Chain A
Amino acid sequence: MKVEQISIFIENKSGRLAEITRILGESGINIRALSLADTSDFGILRLIVNDVETANKVLKEKGFTVNKTEVVAVEVPDRPGGLGAILQTLDSEQINVEYMYAFVERCGGNAVIIFRFDEVDKAINALKANNFSVLAGERLYSM
């Protein structure tokens, strides 16, 4: 029930993001979700893509520092309070969220939240026990 995310280190200089998307595009990689975290000196681009292995390989070949992390995707009804209920559950189980980002499904009425936890299994169990819909990687990659 885990999702593989790739993260790429980028210096804060113009053109780097364009370079990455160009490399991925040329390799036929489709980006499903992304988040860019930045500081004054560098940024971390986090991506969910349809083909993790190829994306990882082509970016490394171009000299980028890339790593893979396991994240958790949770489906949330796209209505007020949807995210709040999930966070409430995580809080009561004392599970810490390292970071998160969201995207809204194209044709459904749901949003998908990507979470990064330190204790991934514990988080998945807690979410499932509380009847939240945790998405399998394959489902996300092919959305």
Chain B
Amino acid sequence: MYFNEEFETLPRPALEALQLKRLQAVVERVYANVPFYKASFDRSGLKPADVRSLDDLQRFPFTTKQDMRDSYPYGLFAAPLDEVVRIHASSGTTGKPTVVGYTHKDIDTWSDLMARSFVAAGAHRGDIIHNAYGYGLFTGGLGAHYGAERLGASVIPISGGNTKRQIMIMQDFGSTILTCTPSYSLFMAEEARAEGIDFKKLKLRVGIFGAEPWSEAMRGEIEEKLNLAAIDIYGLSEIMGPGVAIECIEAKNGLHIWEDHFIPEIIDPETGRRLPQGERGELVITTITKQGIPLIRYRTRDITSISYEPCVCGRTHARISRMSGRSDDMLIIRGVNVFPSQIESILVGIEGVEPHYLLIVDRKDNLDTLEVHVEVDERLFSDEIKVLQLLAKRIEKEIKDVLGVTCTAKLVEPKTIQRSEGKAKRVIDNRKL
């Protein structure tokens, strides 16, 4: 089953011809409309006319998250604001988010690609899609919502949280598809069990899980506990949101990346050189149809590999493997992107707090936990318990306010956090992914 058979099964020569045409157009457009790209291409001595083949893309400079921050908020927009109908954002290391804008056409494309993704995952009209991705600045909720409507399925826009109510609604409304983070799905299953509700009696058939890294072992656990087919979906707000790539239910082996809209490359994160098929490296994406904020060679920092081998489902689009990590130090905690440097700047802002800290990430009862260890030196120390407890609470609150992540602050004795000559180890990630 396809949502758009013609494009999803386009023979590769035709697909590549389409990519080239669209790549030439987008390079033309950003050169004309985005001063950042004009300057960056000029610095590299490149003109839009230099794109004569898909291979020429390799000569162009990368776009990084830092470039997006430096252009905050609208500097990379290629369309005027009166054509932008939606603004989303992801968190940024300085507390400033990364801003993305969508024109009507972009929302239309996104809806199509999400509808495609739903169908690839095994959804169809008549399905009741229980959408527990967060709605708001985060792209997950609305992305899945528009895709579900485009498909013609019924969508329940429940968003995240309030687990008991989620379970009641799944039971009563007869939800057939669940969309949320993989860890939240397991959390729901545990909650249901505690309430004496058997998930296997629900009508759920497919779960579409993304926004955080997960493993094949976790897939097995989810499929067993929720009695559904668990499908991995990938996306990022800078590129579009969810629906950049998805596994097909036929193979469940690699995520088809919609190549008529995105050109993927795998590079060596150290050298920036493109790597051959099958080798693991950093995923770089060029958007070739986006109007609001097209990006040329955006470094996602996600580590994966790519395969152009034909797939049993008949789709001709390349497949990227499950994300196996990051080429930077970003952590994904309960679906929220967190850089250790963000926490560091919050701690340094609290008077007396030493910049020696350690983040311990774990997964308990299927939910990510974050412990922030902070050394207590003489300036912070008090002989009164309440003063120290207030300090811990303040650290927890500031992190929650800035990053939206709940954590536990733990005060530890001085010099107990590892020092090293080079890069100090700031993160211990105990999640078995």
Contact = CB atoms under 8 A, between A and B. Distances in A.
15 contacts: A7-B383, A9-B413, A10-B413, A42-B388, A42-B411, A42-B412, A44-B383, A63-B415, A64-B413, A64-B414, A65-B414, A67-B382, A67-B383, A69-B383, A99-B384
A65 B378 contact: yes
Contact of A9 (B376, B389, B392): B376
Interface in B388-417: 388-389, 392, 410-416
A10 to B, nearest CB: 7
B368 interface: no
B381 interface: yes
Interface residues of A, number: 21
Contacts of B378: 65-67
The SS class assigned to the B binding surface is: loop
Given A9-B376, A44-B384, 17 more contacts: A7-B382, A9-B388, A9-B411, A10-B413, A11-B413, A16-B413, A39-B389, A41-B392, A41-B410, A44-B385, A63-B413, A64-B414, A65-B381, A66-B378, A66-B381, A67-B378, A67-B383
A37 interface: yes
A65 B383 contact: no
Interface of B: 376-378, 381-385, 388-389, 392, 410-416
Contacts of A9: 376, 381, 388, 411, 413
Interface string A37-50: 10101101010000
The SS class assigned to the A binding surface is: strand
A56 B392 CA distance: 25
Given A5-B383, A46-B383, A116-B383, A65 B413 contact: yes
A67 B416 CA distance: 18
Q: Which 4 A-B pairs have the closest CB atoms?
A: A7-B383, A65-B381, A69-B383, A63-B415
A50 to B, nearest CB: 19
A67 B382 CA distance: 7
Nearest to A6: B383
Contacts, number: 53
A119 interface: no
Interface of A: 5, 7, 9-11, 16, 37, 39, 41-42, 44, 46, 63-67, 69, 98-99, 116
B373 to A, nearest CB: 10
Nearest to B386: A98
B411 A41 contact: yes
A116 to B, nearest CB: 7
Contacts of A39: 385, 388-389
Nearest to A66: B378
B358 to A, nearest CB: 13
A67 B411 contact: no
Contacts of A44: 383-385, 388
Contacts of B385: 37, 39, 44
Contacts of A42: 376, 388, 411-412
Contact of A63 (B388, B389, B411, B414): B414
Given A41-B411, A42-B388, A65 B382 contact: no
